[in-house]
A = this chain, B = another copy of it.
Amino acid sequence: MGSLDTNPMAFSALPNDKAAFEPLNPEDVRAYLHKAVDFISDYYTNVESMPVLPNVKPGYLQDELSASPTSEAMLVTLVAARDAALRRSGSVGVADLPRLTVYAADQTHSTFFKACRLAGFDPANIRSIPTGSETDYGLDPTKLLEIMQADTDAGLVPTYVCATVGTTSSNAVDPVGAVADVAALFNVWVHVDAAYAGSACICPEFRHHLDGVERVDSISMSPHKWLLTCLDCTCLYVRDAHRLSDSLETNPEYLKNDATDSGEVTDLKDMQVGVGRRFRGLKLWMVMRTYGTAKLQEHIRSDVAMAKMFEDFVRADDRFEVVVPRNFALVCFRIKATGAMTEEDADEANRVLMENLNKTGKAYLAHTVVGDRFVLRFAVGSSLQEERHVRSAWDLIKKTTSSIMD
């Protein structure tokens, strides 16, 4: 079997290192994909000449990444934390499960609350902690401490807290270190969901958002969100992988093999829901080897710069307001209530602006509700997005706003 060029230099050989970074240049894509097709077809043509088993030692491709959807990362860590809490509390089977409690800010992705229900936590014990503009919609550790203490006093067992770095709704950041400090008082598992903003943390200037991460139990991030990787690919890092396999290990006869039995390889089936898995780590590895750190950082910084530019446009136009300070490449803004306009009128104006804009087929805005207000979300992140697209989207927003405000 032939193999793709494994010389590291070959991977970073993008056509012109000096030109602006175009991660999805169509002609490069075409050339690479045709090459891949021939590789696959040659493989099938010559498959009979190859041994049934590869001539490599199990584990030679060291996979440091466990990659599956964010929802699964949350579910498996919730289950591990649940079972550890049951063991600590001396529960007979799941008898104490109705006493376990879990925590997250109200801005946390809905998939967290669903994963809690899947894992059997009592819906009444899933705490959604209110946030407000005073913390820029991040989790308030003082509130977290009060609620965990009250639960403990009531005979409940705090088990798991999810802190988000870059919420879906508004890119809010929960204070990871402070959350970890509170959780440590109650022996609670801390999971950090950095699905989106984790990609930004490849740049040193964004890494402070993860301060304290060395004290958490697990963290997940999804390169398919913002790191040029196809859906789906989520990385899950767990401080102690045995805490996952304690809950998720199975050992049927037909899967027994020397490499697993001897501990020579880590059997990822024991850290996930299913048994089979696609080799999602490969596509992330290809992205990293193709572009390299510098190009990937350029990609993130370029998106953030475009979002910053859009934010400046919004601030310079007094019909609008930026509702939540921008942390990454999402701008949460709205037509503001001015003059005789009530906040409710402004909500309606923003809803009409969004609908009219989306009808043009030239741009697409999604919305959220933050602090009871209808808010528009302008997200930069498409691989093909350039500054001119942001400028023309802003022109369209201004024009559409004028047409509905007059």
Q: Interface residues, chain A, CB within 8 Å of chain B?
A: 24, 26-27, 29-30, 33-34, 37-38, 40-41, 44-45, 47, 51-53, 55, 69-72, 75, 79, 82, 93-95, 97-98, 109-111, 113-115, 117-125, 168-169, 231-232, 247-248, 250-255, 273-276, 278, 358, 361-364, 366-369, 377, 384
Contact = CB atoms under 8 A, between A and B. Distances in A.
14 contacts: A24-B44, A29-B41, A29-B44, A30-B41, A44-B384, A52-B361, A75-B118, A94-B98, A97-B97, A111-B250, A111-B275, A114-B248, A120-B120, A120-B121
Nearest to A369: B253
Contacts of A168: 252, 254
B109 A252 contact: yes
B124 A72 contact: no
Contacts of A358: 52-53
A53 B169 CA distance: 21
Contact of A26 (B44, B121, B248): B44
Contacts of A367: 253-254
- In this complex, which of A34, A38, A45, A274 has the most chain B Cβ atoms within 10 angstroms of its Cβ? A274
Contacts of A384: 44, 47
B251 A70 contact: no
A98 B93 contact: yes
Contact of A69 (B27, B98, B121, B274): B274
Nearest to A41: B30
Contacts of A37: 30, 33-34, 37
A151 B288 CA distance: 55
Contacts of A26: 41, 44-45
A82 B120 CA distance: 9
B274 A110 contact: no
A118 B255 CA distance: 20
Contacts of A29: 40-41, 44
Given A29-B41, A110-B275, A117-B247, 16 more contacts: A55-B361, A69-B273, A71-B275, A79-B118, A93-B125, A94-B98, A94-B122, A97-B98, A97-B120, A109-B252, A110-B255, A111-B250, A120-B120, A232-B276, A253-B368, A254-B368
A4 to B, nearest CB: 16
